[in-house]
Amino acid sequence: MIKIDVDMNKCQHYGQCVFEAPEVFQLNADDKLEYQAEAPDEMLGDLEAAADVCPMQAITLMRE
Amino acid sequence: MTDPMTDADDRPVLIVGASMAGLRTAENLRRAGYAGPITFLGAEPHAPYNRPPLSKELLQTEGQGHEDVAFPIRSALEENVEWVLGRAAASLDTERQVVVDETGAEHPYRALVIATGLRPKPLPIDDHGLTGIHVLRTLDDAVALRQALRPGANVVILGSGFIGCEIAATAAKAGAATVSVVSQSRIPLERAIGPQLGAEVRRRHEAHGVRFFCENGLFGLVGDPSVERVILTSGVMLECDVLVVAIGSDANTEWLEGSGLDASDGVLVNGGLQAVRADGTVLENVYAVGDVARYPNPLFDEVARRVEHWNLPTETGKRAGQVLAAHLRGDDCAPIIEAPFAPLPSFWSDQYDMHLLAFGMTYLADRSEVVAGTLEDECVVEFFRGDELVGVCGIGMRGAVQGYRSRFTPPVAAR
Ligand SMILES: Cc1cc2nc3c(=O)[nH]c(=O)nc-3n(C[C@H](O)[C@H](O)[C@H](O)COP(=O)(O)OP(=O)(O)OC[C@H]3O[C@@H](n4cnc5c(N)ncnc54)[C@H](O)[C@@H]3O)c2cc1C
Ligand code: SF4
C-alpha cells in the first residue's frame, strides 16, 4: 500500500493533483481538497505525478 | 567510450542544470526504462529545490532553508546518478560530445539535457558598487533578501511582474516602513494578466500600503556604502534601504556560444525537445527543457517561445524523457515527436489572501472579460486573441478556473 499525506497547512486547493489521480484526490463542492489516505501500489505512477504537479509541494507519499 | 564491438556506450546522460526541469527529465528517463548512468552538473551548491516559495513562504519565514523546499529524490534516482554541484558548465562541443566546466574538467556525454534556466536581468543603471541591491532567483538570493527585509526597512522594488508583486506583498507583511514598486508599465502585471486584473492587484496592494510609481524608472542611486535613496526618472526621490531588481530574466545560454545551437533567446527545440542548430538541423542527442527551452505550442500557434511557468519543467521533462529513452534504445523517435507537444501552461500567484490561478497564454490576448464574480472579491476572467480563447485567470474560484482546462485542445495533427 501507499500512504498519502497532504499537508493541509500548505495545500491551497488548486486541484492540480485531481487531474493526475482523480481516484484519490477530489475537489468538493466548496472547492476544497478531499483525498484518500491509502492507495494500492499500482497507483504509484499516478500518485507521483500528482505529487510532482502540486504547486505547494504539499503531497508526501510513503510506501508501506 | 563507444566500443564498436558491443556498441556499448558507458558515457552518461549529462544533465546541465540541477533544478526542477533537469530532475523531471531524469525521473521520466527512468520511467521510460533507461537504467544507465545519469550525471547532473549544476552551478548551485544545492540539490534541486522548488522556487515559488522563495518569493512567498520562505521569504517571510525566519529559519526556513533548503530542507523546506527540496524536491524529494525518487528511489529510481538513488542509483547510477552522479551529482556534480557547485560547478557551472562553460562550453559545449557537440562533435566530441563533451561539456567543459568552469574548472576546465571535461564531462563526456552520450546524450545531453540543457536545463540551465534563467537568471534575473541586472540593474539597468550603474550600481556604483553599492550594497543593499538584490535580485531573486536562487535560495541564496532569497535568504539574503529575507535578512534585508527587516521591519522598518524602506523597500523599493523595480519591476511589477509576478515576482516584483509577490516580493512587495511579502515585504508589506514583514513590516517594512515603506514598500514602493517602480515600473515602466502603465499598470502592474498588465502584460501578464491584462489591465482589469492588473488594476485590481494594484488596488489590493495599495490597501496594504504599497505605493506604485508606474511609467517610471530608475535615474540614479544615492548612498555609501549601501544604497540610501533612489531617484526616479520622474524626479521623485525615495528612501531606500533595500532595492530589489525584478525586471525579467535572461536565459543562461552563454556556455552554448560557439556550439552551433540556436540559442538566440533560449534554446530552440523541436516538438521532441531536441535541439535545433542555427542551420535548422536537429541534434537527436541534445535536448533542452524547462525555462531555457524555446518551442512552439500548437494549442496557440507556431511561434517558438520561452514560457516561464512552473508546470512546464514537468511537461517538457516528461516529453524529453520519453523521446530520449526511445533514442537511447535505438528506436525510431519520429512517432513520439509527431504527436503534437501541446502542454497547457498553468501559473498561479499568491499575494496577501489573493490567490490567482491561470491557464493558457493570457499574455497573447488583446482583450479580457470578467465572466463570473466581481474583481473586488472573487472572479473568473477570460482572455481572447480576436475570437479565440487563449487563457483564463481567476481570483479564487478555483473549481471554475480548473473547468477551463478541457477548453484548450490542440488542432488535429496535420496528416
Ligand atoms: C522567486 C520565484 C518565484 C516563482 N513563483 C512562481 C509561481 O508562483 N508560479 C509559477 O507558475 N512559477 C513561478 N516561478 C517560475 C518557476 O519557478 C520556474 O518556471 C522554474 O523554476 C523553472 O525551472 P527550470 O528547472 O527550468 O530552471 P531553474 O529552476 O532556473 O534551474 C536552472 C538551474 O541551472 C543552473 N545553471 C545555470 N547555468 C548553469 C551552467 N552554466 N552550468 C550548470 N548549471 C547552470 C542554475 O543555477 C539553476 O540551478 C517562480 C520563479 C522564481 C525564481
Ligand atoms: S495540487 Fe496540491 S495544493 Fe492543489 S489541491 Fe492538490 S494537494 Fe492541494
Cα B284 to Cα B272: distance, rounded to the nearest angstrom: 9
- Bridge partners, B242 (sequence order): B155
Pocket of ligand 1 (CB under 6 A): B 16-21, 41-44, 51-52, 54-55, 88-89, 115-118, 136-137, 163, 252, 255, 290-291, 308-310, 313, 347-349
User: Which chain B residues are Cβ-neighbours of A12 within 8 angstroms?
Assistant: 348, 350, 355
Question: How much is the pLDDT for B411?
Answer: 66
Q: Compute CA distances B257 → B202, B268, B292, B319, whole Å.
A: 41, 14, 14, 26
Report yes or no: A12 at the B interface, CB cutoff 8 Å: yes
Does CATH place domain B353-407 in 3.90.470.10? no
> Residue ranges of the domains in chain B?
13-119+250-338, 122-247, 353-407
Average pLDDT over residues B264-279: 96
Homologous superfamily (CATH) for B122-247: FAD/NAD(P)-binding domain (3.50.50.60)
Question: How much is the pLDDT for B5?
Answer: 47
> Rounded to the nearest 5 degrees, what angle is found at the Cα of B129, between the Cα atoms of B123 and B133?
45
Cβ-nearest to B52 among A15, A52, A55: A55
Question: How much is the pLDDT for A30?
Answer: 84
Question: How much is the pLDDT for B197?
Answer: 97
Helix (H, G, I), strand (E, B) or coil at B285: strand
Question: How much is the pLDDT for B136?
Answer: 98
Cα B318 to Cα B321: distance, rounded to the nearest angstrom: 5
Per cent of chain B over pLDDT 70 is 97
Question: Predicted confidence band at B281 (pLDDT cuts at 50, 70, 90)?
Answer: very high
Which residue of A28, A52, A61 to mutate against B (max B Cβ within 10 Å)?
A: A52
Question: How much is the pLDDT for B317?
Answer: 97
Average pLDDT over residues B47-59: 96
Over the stretch A3-50, which tens digit does the pLDDT of each residue have? 999 999 989 888 889 999 999 999 888 889 999 999 999 999 999 999
Q: Across the interface, do B398 and A52 touch by the CB < 8 Å criterion?
A: no
User: Which chain A residues are Cβ-neighbours of B311 within 8 angstroms?
Assistant: 16, 53
Which one, of B337, B345, B343, B338, lies nearest residue B274 by Cα? B337
Which one, of B94, B3, B22, B83, lies nearest residue B293 by Cα? B22
Question: How much is the pLDDT for B6?
Answer: 46
Report yes or no: A62 at the B interface, CB cutoff 8 Å: no
Cα B365 to Cα B358: distance, rounded to the nearest angstrom: 13
Cα B382 to Cα B396: distance, rounded to the nearest angstrom: 14
Question: How much is the pLDDT for B399?
Answer: 86
Full domain range(s) for residue A58: 2-63
Task: State if residue A26 touches ligand 2 by the CB under 6 angstroms criterion.
Answer: no
Question: Predicted confidence band at B414 (pLDDT cuts at 50, 70, 90)?
Answer: very low
Query: Total domain count for chain A?
Result: 1
Over the stretch B217-255, which tens digit does the pLDDT of each residue have? 999 999 999 999 999 999 999 999 999 999 999 999 999
Q: Which residues of B touch A (CB under 8 A)?
A: 24, 27, 31, 50, 52, 69, 71-72, 74, 310-311, 314, 346, 348, 350, 355, 357, 397-399, 402, 405
**A29 → chain B, closest CA residue:** B399
Homologous superfamily (CATH) for B13-119+250-338: FAD/NAD(P)-binding domain (3.50.50.60)
Ligand 1 centroid to residue A50 C-alpha, Å: 20
Q: What backbone torsions phi and psi does residue B128 show, to the nearest 5 degrees? A: 50, 25
User: Which chain A residues are Cβ-neighbours of B24 within 8 angstroms?
Assistant: 52
CATH of the domain at A18: 3.30.70.20
Over the stretch B93-142, which tens digit does the pLDDT of each residue have? 999 999 999 999 999 999 999 999 999 999 999 999 999 999 999 999 99
Average pLDDT over residues B301-322: 96
User: DSSP assignment of A17-61, as one string?
Assistant: HHHH-TTTEEE-TTS-EEE-SEE-GGGHHHHHHHHHH-TT--EEE
ipTM of the complex model: 0.90
Over 50: is that where the pLDDT of B181 sits? yes
**A9 → chain B, closest CA residue:** B57
User: Which chain B residues are Cβ-neighbours of A48 within 8 angstroms?
Assistant: 27, 74
Q: Which residues contact B140 (CB under 8 A, 6 or more apart)?
A: B44
CA atoms within 13 A on the CB side of B16: 31
Cβ-nearest to B398 among A14, A19, A52: A14
Ligand 1 centroid to residue B214 C-alpha, Å: 27
